[in-house]
């Protein structure tokens, strides 16, 4: 287990602030022993909670060119056919993964290929399960031309707690399945949009792990681990 680079600065300054406050309390509020001890305990708990937000566990990544791998840890909350207006402007199958505050917040490339489109959208911070969060909230949209052929769109979406999305890809980049493409600070949601004929391998309510769980199988002429 290691700490993700996006959290190191936050954790360092939070630790300094908590240490300073506790030292000041023991210096200038020495008589309130019980209160000071409670505050120390609360500081430790708060720091540990923040620490787990930025954990980066080791993963044995699953890779295959026509398999769509989970881009994030979380729970599958949407599987439906919808109209995708930003890039495809046609019907696509949407698969959404909700990331709670206790999930790992790293987002990974669900497929290998070339980034054909990227856009960052500033926006609101509605709760992640709100129907309009995917079009109103702060978000990024990435479209990858997969090695299997089909285009895959995936979107980082900020939620009520998340206040910053980080990304590491740009148009024209070649990306590898399972590698990090970004980070959503304090969780939220990732949406995927794939061709209608894509075979979904998960169900609503199922918990998935980024880089490991097979989400779907794209239609391809290449042989798959799951067969055709």
Catalytic residue positions, numbered: 188
- Collapsing DSSP to helix, strand or coil, 5 comes out as helix
- Cβ–Cβ contacts within 10 Å for residue 9, how many? 9
Element (H, E) at 91: strand 90-99
Both tokens of 6, joined, read 């996006």
Query: HSE of 101 in the Cβ direction (CA atoms, 13 Å)?
Result: 9
What is the secondary structure of 16-54 as a DSSP string? HHHHHHHHHHHHH-TT-HHHHHHHHHHHHHHHHHHHHHT
The residue among 190, 186, 225 whose CA lies nearest residue 210 is 190
- CA distances (Å), origin 88, targets 9, 91, 154, 191: 38, 8, 12, 14
User: Cα dihedral sign for 110, 112, 116, 120?
Assistant: positive
């Amino acid at each position: 287990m290691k700490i993700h680079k996006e959290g190191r600065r936050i954790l360092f300054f939070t630790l300094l602030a908590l240490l300073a406050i506790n030292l000041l309390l023991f210096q200038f509020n020495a008589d309130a022993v019980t209160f000071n001890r409670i505050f120390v305990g609360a500081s430790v708990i708060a720091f540990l909670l923040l620490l787990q937000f930025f954990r980066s566990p080791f993963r044995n990544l699953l890779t295959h060119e026509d398999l769509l791998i989970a881009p994030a840890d979380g729970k599958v909350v949407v599987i439906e056919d919808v109209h995708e207006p930003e890039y495809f402007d046609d019907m696509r199958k949407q698969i959404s993964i909700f990331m709670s505050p206790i999930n790992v917040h790293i987002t990974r490339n669900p497929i290998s290929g070339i980034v054909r489109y990227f856009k960052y959208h500033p926006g609101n911070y509605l709760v992640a399960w709100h129907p309009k969060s995917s079009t109103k909230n702060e978000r990024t949209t990435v479209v990858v031309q997969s090695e299997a052929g089909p285009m895959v769109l995936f979107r980082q979406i900020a939620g009520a707690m998340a206040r910053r999305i980080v990304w590491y890809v740009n148009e024209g980049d070649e990306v590898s399945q399972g590698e990090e493409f970004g980070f959503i600070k304090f969780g939220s949601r990732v949406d995927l949009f794939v061709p209608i004929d894509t075979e979904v391998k998960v169900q609503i309510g199922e918990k998935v792990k980024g880089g490991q769980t097979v989400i779907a199988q794209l239609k391809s002429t290449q042989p798959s681990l799951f067969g055709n």
